[in-house]
Chain A
Amino acid sequence: MFEIRIHSRGGQGGVTAARLLAMAALHDGKYATACPFYGAERRGAPVVSFVRIDDHPIKVYSQIRDPDLVIVLDASVMDVVDVLNGLKKGGRVLINSAHKPEFPGFTTFNVDLTGIALKEKLVVAGSPILNTPVLGALAKMGIITSESAKKAISEMFSDERNVKAADAAYREMSV
């Protein structure tokens, strides 16, 4: 079972990113579950959501304690949250940033999702949309296929700029 924890701030679309990732995994012929951790959320507060992907039906409901991959949609949460907490030895970190931070012992991937969203004018209520471009980055990392990522995005959003943004993230991120 492959376990993913997504860090974001309330309103940034971390839950939707989890949902899209689960949909894409389903299109890849796998089983997937996605869930937000529900606390007293409010806009702007650090939040986490979880995704599990497996070849077999998933029977686990408890929270992910030692993820294989951590996704950081908003690097500023790292000031208040230990995003590496429990991350498996040699695990991967995907961070929304133009710069690559060093996390010794882990493999880091970075891509400027905010820049891509702004370039595509993917902005809702003043916030750049990160949850669709991040799927392009995850496809590049081989977590899901590019086809399934695009299919999942098109199923949820009719605006083609979302797929374009995912394509841009796929192109721009180096692995």
Chain B
Amino acid sequence: MKKIATGNKAVAEAVRQAKPDVVAAYPITPQTEIVETIADFVTSGQLKSRYIPVESEHSAMAACIGASITGVRTFTATSSHGLLYMHEMTNWAAGARLPIVMANVNRAIGPGWNIWAEHTDALQERDTGWLQVYVSTVQEAYDTTLMAFRIAEHNDVLLPVMVNVDGFSLSHIMQPLDTVEPGTFIPPCHLPHAIDPKNPTGYGGLTGPNDHFRFRWDIERSMRDAVHVIEETEKDFAKKFGRSYGPTENYRCDDADVIIIAMGTFGKEAEVAIDILRKEGIKAGSMRLRWFRPFPKLDLAGKEVVVIDRDYSFGYGGIVAHEIMAKEHNKVYSVIAGIGGQEVTYDDIADFARKRRIGEEFWFGVTGNV
């Protein structure tokens, strides 16, 4: 059924249909609408789930971990400082191999206090062992949240998944949403190492130097397997519901000389910039990076690459730009734009490509900079 919904509502709707047994969350702008809507679903009986209102995000993730280890489906949502407050527990969730699904509404980190979109919050979780996906439309937020449960709970993965939604620009925009009947698309949750509360046993005890690395390697092995699970899940989703995305969404890339890479809504608005550049005779294409962990293999051989980072690693550079440079050995024009909700239009994006200085970094809106 087609309706108009915000990105937050789309996530909440997908969660309702995925039927998690436990939702534990703490509200934070701009994620609040997700947990409010889910709480309403639980109150009205539309979602038969145990909703645990907690006093902090650290507790939200701890509650999800406690629930998930008993083998039940769990969900939480957060944003920015809330995610950072979870950080100790997000590591634990991945290490304990718990398929928790989380929506993170990307928001800048203070100070100064800022509630608008930026990706640095999620990218600070880069090395925790969570799968990370960044979406660009209300429809994609919904579809990807449904897929996230199946991917996380797949026996070859058993790792948590973070679905990233740009704060306000996607969480609060209203767009058409076509909901589906998931049916058997998400199989029942089965955790092979689930504990039985009626027969308590120890878990996560001391792991010595002769064993710890094996557990770490096992996370990496599953990350690599996740590439195939994501592919298979997307294929089945496309077959059942007619929509597909891929690890990157490529727009007019085949014959392109210049590729613009961005995550989230900028990656979608970049397609408008591509059409403008093409009319000017610039052979440009857009490669919107959807899955960040596991990081996909990109086909960038012989291309000039412009990366828009809505994030930054101080003393180093744009995080996505450097990931690409390390993996693909392409030199890139690294644009830092959209920090803390900074307005960036398709005209600006087209300009980044026109004025590209491959090998250099550019902070949009800062005068006299590199």
Contacts and interface: CB of A to CB of B under 8 A. Distances in A.
A23 B5 CA distance: 9
Interface string A11-55: 000000011001100100001111110100000000000000000
A26 B175 CA distance: 9
The main secondary structure of chain B at its interface with chain A is: mixed
B157 to A, nearest CB: 31
B131 to A, nearest CB: 25
B170 A36 contact: no
Contacts of B174: 18-19, 22, 33-35
A60 interface: yes
Most buried by B among A31, A36, A61, A63: A61
Interface stretch (B37-45, B197-205, B221-229, B263-271): B263-271
- Identify the interface centre among B30, B170, B174, B175: most chain A CB within 10 Å of its CB: B174
B343 A62 contact: yes
A59 B176 contact: no
Contacts of A18: 174
A60 B175 contact: no
B173 interface: yes
A11 B35 CA distance: 23
Contacts of B166: 61
Interface residues of B, number: 25
B345 A59 contact: no
Contacts, number: 55
A3 B3 CA distance: 20
A27 to B, nearest CB: 9
A58 to B, nearest CB: 7
B172 interface: yes
A26 B173 contact: no
Interface in A60-107: 60-63, 65
Contacts of A23: 3-4
Given A35-B173, A35-B174, A38-B168, A59 B4 contact: no
Nearest to A33: B175
A31 B4 CA distance: 10
Contacts of A31: 176
B4 A32 contact: yes
A26 B269 contact: no
B212 to A, nearest CB: 44
Interface in B254-308: 265-266, 268-269, 271-272
Contacts of B239: none
B355 interface: no
Nearest to A65: B345
A83 to B, nearest CB: 20
Given A19-B174, A34-B173, A34-B174, A62 B346 contact: yes
Contacts of B272: 59-60
Contacts of B30: 38
Contact of A26 (B172, B176, B266): B176
Contacts of B132: none
B176 A32 contact: yes
Which of B30, B168, B173, B343 is packed against the most chain A CB atoms within 10 Å? B173
Contacts of B176: 26, 31-32
A59 B269 contact: yes
A26 B266 CA distance: 24
A26 B4 contact: yes
Nearest to A49: B174
Contacts of B345: 60, 62, 65
A3 to B, nearest CB: 13
Nearest to B349: A62
B108 to A, nearest CB: 13
B4 A19 contact: yes
Interface in B42-67: none
A63 B30 CA distance: 18
B168 A34 contact: no
A135 B116 CA distance: 30
B169 interface: yes
B194 interface: no
A128 B268 CA distance: 38
B275 to A, nearest CB: 9
A12 B195 CA distance: 53
Contacts of A58: 175
A38 B116 CA distance: 9
Contacts of A60: 269, 272, 345-346
10 contacts: A26-B2, A31-B176, A33-B175, A59-B272, A60-B345, A61-B166, A61-B169, A61-B265, A61-B266, A62-B269
Given A60-B272, A60-B345, 13 more contacts: A19-B174, A22-B174, A26-B4, A33-B175, A34-B174, A35-B172, A35-B173, A38-B116, A59-B272, A60-B346, A61-B170, A61-B266, A62-B346
The 7 lowest CB-CB distance pairs between A and B, nearest first, are A62-B345, A34-B174, A35-B173, A61-B265, A23-B4, A61-B169, A22-B4
